[in-house]
Amino acid sequence: MTIEEKLVNLLMTKEYHISFAESCTGGMVCAQIVNVPNASKVLNSSFITYSNEAKMKWVHVDPDTLEKFGAVSEEVAKEMAIGAAKVSDSDIGVGITGIAGPAGGTKQKPVGMVCFGFKIKDNLYTYTKHFSDQSRNEVRKSSVDFVIKKLLELI
């Protein structure tokens, strides 16, 4: 059984529904879930909120949060998770925002830095991972793996 199948089965057992707001992963997490039979029983929505405007419009990230912390921050990832869950009436919301590269990084926020937000029922969790020395697609794939494993741990 794959980890994605384990996640779908766990969500079905708990009768939880999940939604995603993905930036740098561009829908890859949702796609991994959709590959699993019965995904329709647990997946509500997925938003690809690549631009700041999309983050504000679709999952209600506060413009002040974006301005104060920047798009790649745990604060924005948390608001993405909260917004995805709220807009979709889901038990779980996941927000992912990062710098996949190869350009766009800074000293404070280097290429490979990805921030994650998880809203699971009434609990909020945030994480930052640094997937340095990886290609753009490796950063994205590592982010997907992290989300699925972290969901299995947190639920």
What integer pLDDT is reported at residue 101 of this predicted model?
87
Q: Per-10-residue mean pLDDT for the chain, 155 residues long?
A: 97 98 98 97 98 98 98 98 98 98 88 97 98 93 98 98
Q: What is the CATH number for 145? A: 3.90.950.20
Q: How far is CA 128 from CA 12, 99, 125, 131, in A?
A: 28, 12, 11, 10
What integer pLDDT is reported at residue 96 of this predicted model?
99
H-run or E-run covering 126: strand 123-130
Q: Which residues pair with 116 in a beta bridge?
A: 96, 127
What integer pLDDT is reported at residue 133 of this predicted model?
87
What integer pLDDT is reported at residue 106 of this predicted model?
87
Is the CB of residue 151 less than 8 Å from the CB of residue 94? Answer: yes
Cis amide linkage into residue 63, ω under 30° from 0? no
Domain membership of residue 150 as a residue range: 3-10+18-154
Query: Within 10 A of 155 (CB to CB), how many other CB atoms are there?
Result: 17
Q: How far is CA 113 from the centre of its chain?
A: 13
Number of domain units in the chain? 1
pTM (predicted TM-score) = 0.96
What integer pLDDT is reported at residue 27 of this predicted model?
97
Q: For the chain, give the percent of residues with pLDDT over 70.
A: 100
What integer pLDDT is reported at residue 132 of this predicted model?
87
